Amino acid sequence: MCGIAGWYRRGGRAVPQDSIVGQCDRLVQRGPDEAGYLTDGDFGFGMRRLSIIDIEGGRQPILSPDGRYAIVFNGEIVNHPLLRRELEGGYEFKTDHSDTETILAAFLRWGDDAWLKLEGMYAVAIWDKLAKSLTLARDPIGIKPLFFTEQQGGLAFASEITALRDLPDHRFDLDEDGVDDFFCFGHTLPPRTIFKQVRPLEPGHVLHIGAVGEPAIHRFWQARLKVEQGISEDDWVERTRSELLRTVKEHQLSDVPIGAFVSGGVDSGAIAAAMVRTSSEPFKMFTAGFPGSPRDETAAAKRLSEHLGCEHVVLPMQPQTAADVLPAVQASFDEPTAANSAIPLWYLSRAAAEHVKVVLCGEGGDELFLGYNRQRWARRMAQWRLGAPVAGAIERLPELPLRKWNYIRQLAGRFREGASLEDGYERFFASVSISTPELRASIYKPEFFRREEDRSSIASRAEAFFPPDQRQPLSDLEEFMMGDLTVHMPASMCQRLDRSSMAHSLEARVPFLSHRFVEFALTVPTDLKLRGDTGKYVLRRAVEPWLPKGQLDQRKIGFQLPLADWFMGGFNDFAREAWTSSGVADLNILDKAGVDRLFDEHRTGTADHGRMLYAIAMFSCWWSDQQPAPAVKRRPRASTKRPAVAAT
């Protein structure tokens, strides 16, 4: 695991090594163990390494035997021993068992066909000294981040945007469309970032750029549903069990100790139970708890750890804990994030990093096996369209001094909106939105709302991400599932896991998101994923023999902060102070009176604005961190301050 960065300046303009060192210094938390750099005229790249595989021999950059090619790489290739054996006859390996060198050998043998042979997660940069060409590639699901910017005739790239920000003669202007994305979804959506000049290399894509001309980008993998018929339920259960054991075993490849993030849910429990069955090495389980909250799952996680015979480390979180770490959490992200699970993930990663360098996580199970509540509600909305008028009538009933009643009215409005939409893609975007158009209209400046209104409509989003002429013939529920997998997973889930863990030099692996496992899951019939109101039905059957009795009866809670409750108390005061002191109100995007009204309505129980208030607090922390540091500071934070961002 590493952080990588580089700059192809082009035009014969030399890249000073100090520039590459400066880029990589911004990524030191991703790789505190060592650094490596290469400069070649108008090109340079480097990396910061977290040593996990071939600790002594895997130093980067690694050069090909003839010295023509060089590679830096962030991630882990869990099937590299098998690939290495296949490649050994035609490549002279210098390292003992470095997965980085295996990638280079695979690329030299198969070119861009190599990317789909790699199992795991990766962001790769390969430099061809002779042809003066650069290749960038990102794993199929988007587990590992990779950003690039084209400015001044060149191209720079990095694992995090912050490693681009110090390059000379580069601009980074606030992208208002990206800001609107954030207040719609709690994160930006590709191909945008929060900056006009920066783009992500999208999942399953490879980029090539030479000494002249534009970069060429093409897709090498795309998720496609290919349901297989004529297989019995028992056979699907056995297949699921076998594929799970395979991917978990592969993801335990490491030269350092491994642990697991575990809640009380099915996915993380399945991963931990499979770890016990595929390795004789003991491991620790780590859980974040919320004492006194209905969202606390520590009892279920403790029951699982005792059943599996694993040491269990519990980290309790209180509202004050979240308020204390929230600025540090946002500083770990190069863009604003309103994924409220980022706080417990960040906090848990900090604790786990004191024990291990690697953890396995359960991300991906809900997306692949229809485990989210929102997926069940989307099916109901499609089935109960006639219920939309009833929901609308409930929504129009008067407010009462009863918090739960007002929340029911609010939920009825969301149901009415979802039931009236055209298809599963539209319902997906509506479901993952943290705000409605009506809410945004109440807090945006009128001019900003008018500029963004058409572009950010649910129908426009669905058409942009899923062009009608490229759609598979799917059911509403399957369309919704593909939205979760191909949009929400890389844009939100993978980003929050990567930044939260790498902030503490911890590698988080996701066995469910190996593209080979994903391809398997996309062959499983939908009725074996969502059976009645039971999500992840086939996965539950596959792992039930491994878990404590009654473990699967646990109500799905999710790795989320209890925001509605916390914003009723002191956390509301913290968030409000972050908003008022940040200067965000001066950007001519949010209306101060409208935002203040949101805080008041939530605190009085008129409506549940927890998610949007959290988004406003996180954006405020992010924006404060973008401003030039004052001349005198009580507590310097040089490692997190970025060059100032221009508001446009």
The label of the residue with tokens 């912050």 reads: 162
DSSP designation for 274: H
Task: Say if pTM beats, i.e. exceeds, 0.85.
Answer: yes
Q: In angstroms, rounded to a whole number, what is the distance separating the alpha carbons of residues 522 and 513?
A: 12
Tens digit of pLDDT for each residue in 3-48?
Answer: 999 999 999 999 999 999 999 999 999 999 999 999 999 999 999 9
Tens digit of pLDDT for each residue in 351-409?
Answer: 999 999 999 999 999 999 999 988 988 887 776 655 555 545 545 555 555 555 555 65
Asked if 84 contacts 117 with a C-beta cutoff of 8 angstroms, the reply is no
Tens digit of pLDDT for each residue in 516-562?
Answer: 999 999 999 999 999 999 999 999 999 999 999 988 887 766 656 66
Q: Which of 158-167, 175-184, 219-228, 568-577 bottoms out in mean pLDDT, i.e. has the lowest?
A: 568-577
Token couple for 58: 């895997």
pLDDT score, position 554: 74
pLDDT score, position 641: 45
Tell me the CATH architecture of domain 225-648: 3-Layer(aba) Sandwich (3.40)
Token couple for 187: 């994160």
Asked if 204 contacts 138 with a C-beta cutoff of 8 angstroms, the reply is yes
Q: Name the phi and psi angles at 513, rounded to 5.
A: -100, 10
Instruction: Give DSSP secondary structure letters for 33-60.
Output: SEEEEEEETTEEEEEEE---SSTTT--S
Residue bearing the bigger pLDDT, 484 or 412? 484
What number of H helices and E strands is found in the chain? 25, 19
CA dist 459 to 47, 270, 601, Å?
A: 41, 37, 29
In the predicted structure, residue 254 carries a pLDDT above the cut 70: yes
| Helix H or strand E segment including 429 | helix 424-432
In the predicted structure, residue 64 carries a pLDDT above the cut 60: yes
In the predicted structure, residue 270 carries a pLDDT above the cut 50: yes
Residue bearing the bigger pLDDT, 88 or 636? 88
Q: In angstroms, rounded to a whole number, what is the distance separating the alpha carbons of residues 324 and 529?
A: 40
In the predicted structure, residue 234 carries a pLDDT above the cut 90: yes
pLDDT score, position 636: 33
Mean pLDDT of 289-294: 80
Name the CA radius of gyration of the chain, rounded.
Answer: 24
In the predicted structure, residue 150 carries a pLDDT above the cut 90: yes
CA dist 637 to 21, 82, 495, 633, Å?
A: 20, 45, 23, 9
pLDDT score, position 1: 65
Q: Binning pLDDT at 50, 70 and 90, where does residue 292 land?
A: confident
Q: In one letter, which amino acid is 476? A: D
Mean pLDDT of 451-458: 91
pLDDT score, position 244: 98
Buried b (16+ CB within 10 A) or exposed e, 24-42: bebbebbbeeebbbbbeeb
The label of the residue with tokens 């009580």 reads: 634
In the predicted structure, residue 455 carries a pLDDT above the cut 60: yes
Q: In angstroms, rounded to a whole number, what is the distance separating the alpha carbons of residues 182 and 293?
A: 28
Tens digit of pLDDT for each residue in 169-219?
Answer: 999 999 999 999 999 999 999 999 999 999 999 999 999 999 999 999 999
**With pLDDT > 70 as the criterion, what percentage of the chain qualifies?**
88
Mean pLDDT of 228-239: 97
| Helix H or strand E segment including 530 | strand 530-531
How many CB atoms lie under 10 A from the CB of residue 307? 17
CA dist 539 to 263, 266, 434, 505, 516, Å?
A: 16, 8, 29, 31, 16
pLDDT score, position 627: 76
Classified as helix, coil or strand, 491 is: helix
Token couple for 366: 């809900």
Asked if 566 contacts 326 with a C-beta cutoff of 8 angstroms, the reply is no
pLDDT score, position 399: 56
Asked if 267 contacts 512 with a C-beta cutoff of 8 angstroms, the reply is yes
Token couple for 5: 């960065």
In the predicted structure, residue 117 carries a pLDDT above the cut 90: yes
Q: In angstroms, rounded to a whole number, what is the distance separating the alpha carbons of residues 107 and 288?
A: 41
> Where exactly are the structural domains of the chain?
2-219, 225-648
**With pLDDT > 90 as the criterion, what percentage of the chain qualifies?**
73
Most confident of 87-91, 122-126, 616-620: 122-126
Q: In angstroms, rounded to a whole number, what is the distance separating the alpha carbons of residues 605 and 293?
A: 18
Q: In angstroms, rounded to a whole number, what is the distance separating the alpha carbons of residues 68 and 59?
A: 18
Mean pLDDT of 617-622: 92
Classified as helix, coil or strand, 545 is: helix
How many CB atoms lie under 10 A from the CB of residue 637? 12
Q: In angstroms, rounded to a whole number, what is the distance separating the alpha carbons of residues 216 and 206?
A: 8
In the predicted structure, residue 271 carries a pLDDT above the cut 80: yes
Q: CB neighbours of 169 closer than 8 A, spacing ≥ 6?
A: 151, 152
Instruction: Give DSSP secondary structure letters for 598-648.
Output: HHHHHHHTSS--HHHHHHHHHHHHHHHHHSPPPSS-SS--TTT--PPPBP-
Mean pLDDT of 99-116: 97
Q: Which of 33-42, 242-251, 547-556, 617-626 bottoms out in mean pLDDT, i.e. has the lowest?
A: 547-556
In the predicted structure, residue 138 carries a pLDDT above the cut 90: yes
- Helices 373-383, 476-483: inter-axial angle, 10-degree rounding: 150
Q: In angstroms, rounded to a whole number, what is the distance separating the alpha carbons of residues 387 and 522?
A: 31
Examine residue 190 and say whether the peptide bond preceding it is cis (omega within 30 degrees of 0): no
Residue bearing the bigger pLDDT, 225 or 415? 225
Mean pLDDT of 423-432: 93
Ramachandran region, residue 50 (left: φ > 0; alpha: ψ -120 to 50; beta: rest): beta
Classified as helix, coil or strand, 152 is: coil
CA dist 578 to 321, 323, 583, Å?
A: 16, 10, 9
Domain 2-219: what homologous superfamily? Aminohydrolase, N-terminal nucleophile (Ntn) domain (3.60.20.10)
Classified as helix, coil or strand, 70 is: strand
Q: Binning pLDDT at 50, 70 and 90, where does residue 488 land?
A: very high
Say how many residues make up the chain: 648
Nearest-CA neighbor of 452 among 138, 161, 110, 192? 192
Beta pairing, strands 147-151 & 133-138: unpaired
Q: Which of 151-155, 298-302, 466-470, 549-553 bottoms out in mean pLDDT, i.e. has the lowest?
A: 549-553
pLDDT score, position 582: 92
CA 509 to chain centre: 12
Token couple for 61: 């950059």
Nearest-CA neighbor of 361 among 601, 56, 143? 143
How much is the mean pLDDT over the chain?
Answer: 89
Q: Binning pLDDT at 50, 70 and 90, where does residue 101 land?
A: very high
Q: In angstroms, rounded to a whole number, what is the distance separating the alpha carbons of residues 536 and 16?
A: 53
